[in-house]
Structure 1
Amino acid sequence: MTAPVATPHPAEVPTRASALVADALAPLTGVDLPTVLEQAALQTRVDRKYLVPAQSFTELLTRLGERYSVLEIDGRRLFQYESVYFDTPQLHLYRQHLQGRRLRYKVRTRTYVDSGICMFEVKLKGRRSQTAKARFPHPAEHRAALTDEAHRLLDDLLHAEYGIGAPELAPVVTTRYLRGTLVDLAEGNRFTCDLDLVCQHRGRTADGLTDQILVESKTVTGNSTADRILRELGVRPVSISKYCVALALLNPTVVTNPWNRVLRHHFDWRPKSHLREWNDVADPGADQSDTCVQIGPPPAT
């Protein structure tokens, strides 16, 4: 019997964007992971996201000069990531983001494909628009499921931060992409650059970030040298997440109003353009209305 062919990770299919970023990172000084964690861990921080055209990204690194170093592990500077996002059957966590709730959270497992390490992560948005991230080791073979231990940790976090219990969650979408990490060791700031995004749900696949780079600035104050240069280049922050993008690209029944412009302009998205196709692969009898979208786990990987 022929073994099933696994969907290749973005790193296995070189693209123009990955070649451009690799060339842009090559002249920078490499720095190891312990140094990054010591100088710029930033588990509580202000996040700003930018969708940066390739030419502007190259100009950003040119203007930064030698100020930033790049994370390097075993000679590698671009790393393979896989994230599985969890939500309720009614997509309550997605809707918290949609409605701009001040107190909201996101639940995922993140696998660092190159090392095989997997973490269970909870990102909590709270006071003064800061993001706090809690992370715990998670078995990689169970990355598409929440273990009893992960559910207990989530419950403890939500009780401590928001005074609520953890709902029952299931895997919703899987994202795969390449990431490079740059660090300003002097100021303790860093930013990541993500590219070649692949989103998956039940065998459906959507691509993104094929000709641009998602830059995420992570700082204490929200105003790093990289942020200032991006403003000078005319690149403005966008309010969006890879989870929300993936769900919008794969499930045309969800409401996406706050992000329609970004989705149209940067991801070639059209509202409800594939509604019939989605219904064809959805569970028979599942409610496909905007208020309750039944979705199941992504395919095993």
Structure 2
Amino acid sequence: MQTDLVKLLEEFPTISLKEMNSVRLMNRIDTKYLTDIETLKRIISSSYGEYMVQEVNGCILSDYVTCYFDTEDYDMYLQHQRGMNNRTKVRVRRYINSDIMFLEVKRRNNKGRTDKCRIQISDSLRMNSEQISFLKDNISYNPYSLIPRLENRFKRITMVNMNKSERLTIDVSITFHNISTQAKLDTGNLVVIELKRNGNTESPIKSILKELMVHPSGFSKYCIGASLTDPLLKQNRFKMKQHYIEKITTN
């Protein structure tokens, strides 16, 4: 699967990580889509000429590891489960290929915009004074109340359109490890595509996705991963998504 994707992507012009920094879009509108590997191959083939693909240390399929934190009573998870528009996620993300790690806070507001702030760190297991201060400035929770809840791993393709007004991330080989229950899950053929734009500008990928009948679909790696690996969590809001993912993973 990965070999086929890399062969398709090798036909695209590349952009370096340094060049990509100008397209960070830390305050943006995110639109997510779910599909499978075979459909992804068609999407990539149809995107040639419209996008560049990010290359990091010679790799265009990059490895990520993320650890999500939550409170004792899973308040961040429950924000999403209750359908609250204003919600927060706290995570440590490690970019394996570039050997960089960040403590990140993602906030979504009731206008559909996502704001992300982060600081670079060197140790994901210990919170130093700088990290505690960062969290105090950016979340309403007591930083000392946060517990590591879920780890997930995936491989990411990052693309940018030719005029650098949007980014497209494509996540494959997604796995979850619930730190509380120790349950693990491999999502197999699942593909998560995320379109990130500053606003409602024209997007080459939107027409391609529409033609292939891939429609917008909300998806939170933390909430879906937690709900699939901990049956004791409230999860009625995620049932339809779970069934769709199970259908993809069993094909």
Partner residue, 2:233: 254
CA distance in 1: counterparts of 2:207 and 2:42, whole angstroms? 13
CA distance in 1: counterparts of 2:89 and 2:129, whole angstroms? 18
RMSD: 1.8
**Letter of the 1:191 counterpart:** L
CA distance in 2: counterparts of 1:225 and 1:257, whole angstroms? 35
- Could you tell me how far 1:268 is from its partner in structure 2? 5.2
CA distance in 2: counterparts of 1:19 and 1:72, whole angstroms? 16
Partner residue, 2:106: 123
CA distance in 1: counterparts of 2:105 and 2:114, whole angstroms? 10
CA distance in 2: counterparts of 1:49 and 1:73, whole angstroms? 24
Partner residue, 1:237: 216
- Is the strand fraction higher in 1 or 2? 2
Structure 2 CA distance for partners of 1:174 and 1:125, relative to 1, 3 Å: same
**Letter of the 1:22 counterpart:** V
- Could you tell me how far 1:165 is from its partner in structure 2? 4.8
Asked if structure 2 preserves the Cα contact closer than 8 Å seen for 1:200 and 1:206, the reply is yes
The equivalent position to 1:221 in structure 2, one of 199, 216, 232, is 199
Asked if structure 2 preserves the Cα contact closer than 8 Å seen for 1:86 and 1:173, the reply is yes
CA distance in 1: counterparts of 2:68 and 2:175, whole angstroms? 14
- Could you tell me how far 1:46 is from its partner in structure 2? 0.7
1:59-78 matches, within 5 Å, as 59-78=42-61
**Letter of the 2:12 counterpart:** L
CA distance in 2: counterparts of 1:188 and 1:155, whole angstroms? 32
Asked if structure 1 preserves the Cα contact closer than 8 Å seen for 2:174 and 2:190, the reply is no
**Letter of the 2:210 counterpart:** R
CA distance in 1: counterparts of 2:86 and 2:75, whole angstroms? 13
Partner residue, 1:152: 133
The 3-state SS of whatever aligns with 2:104 is strand
**Letter of the 1:248 counterpart:** S
Does residue 29 (structure 1) correspond to residue 13 (structure 2)? The answer is yes
Does residue 132 (structure 1) correspond to residue 111 (structure 2)? The answer is no
Structure 2 CA distance for partners of 1:214 and 1:76, relative to 1, 3 Å: same
**Letter of the 2:132 counterpart:** H
CA distance in 2: counterparts of 1:192 and 1:84, whole angstroms? 19
Asked if structure 2 preserves the Cα contact closer than 8 Å seen for 1:48 and 1:222, the reply is no
Does residue 82 (structure 1) correspond to residue 65 (structure 2)? The answer is yes
The equivalent position to 2:142 in structure 1, one of 166, 183, 194, is 166
Percent same amino acid at aligned positions? 27
- Could you tell me how far 1:205 is from its partner in structure 2? 1.5
Structure 2 CA distance for partners of 1:79 and 1:219, relative to 1, 3 Å: same
CA deviations 1:36-73 (Å, max 9, x no partner) are: 111x1100111111112223212222222211000012
CA distance in 1: counterparts of 2:126 and 2:91, whole angstroms? 9
Query: What are the ranges of 5 or more consecutive residues in structure 2 without an aligned counterpart?
Result: none
How many matched pairs? 244
Structure 2 CA distance for partners of 1:194 and 1:144, relative to 1, 3 Å: farther
The 3-state SS of whatever aligns with 1:259 is helix
- Could you tell me how far 1:261 is from its partner in structure 2? 1.2
CA distance in 1: counterparts of 2:189 and 2:141, whole angstroms? 41
CA distance in 2: counterparts of 1:154 and 1:56, whole angstroms? 39
Structure 2 CA distance for partners of 1:148 and 1:268, relative to 1, 3 Å: farther
Structure 2 CA distance for partners of 1:222 and 1:256, relative to 1, 3 Å: farther
**Letter of the 2:235 counterpart:** T
CA distance in 2: counterparts of 1:195 and 1:216, whole angstroms? 12
**Letter of the 1:239 counterpart:** G
Structure 2 CA distance for partners of 1:31 and 1:128, relative to 1, 3 Å: same
The 3-state SS of whatever aligns with 2:18 is helix
The 3-state SS of whatever aligns with 2:111 is helix
**Letter of the 1:37 counterpart:** N
Asked if structure 2 preserves the Cα contact closer than 8 Å seen for 1:57 and 1:213, the reply is yes
The 3-state SS of whatever aligns with 1:74 is coil
CA deviations 1:244-284 (Å, max 9, x no partner) are: 12101210111122221121121359xxxxxxxxxxxxxxx
- Could you tell me how far 1:222 is from its partner in structure 2? 4.5
CA distance in 1: counterparts of 2:168 and 2:135, whole angstroms? 27
CA distance in 2: counterparts of 1:193 and 1:41, whole angstroms? 16
CA distance in 2: counterparts of 1:146 and 1:170, whole angstroms? 11
Q: Which has the larger radius of gyration?
A: 1
TM-score, L = length of structure 2: 0.91
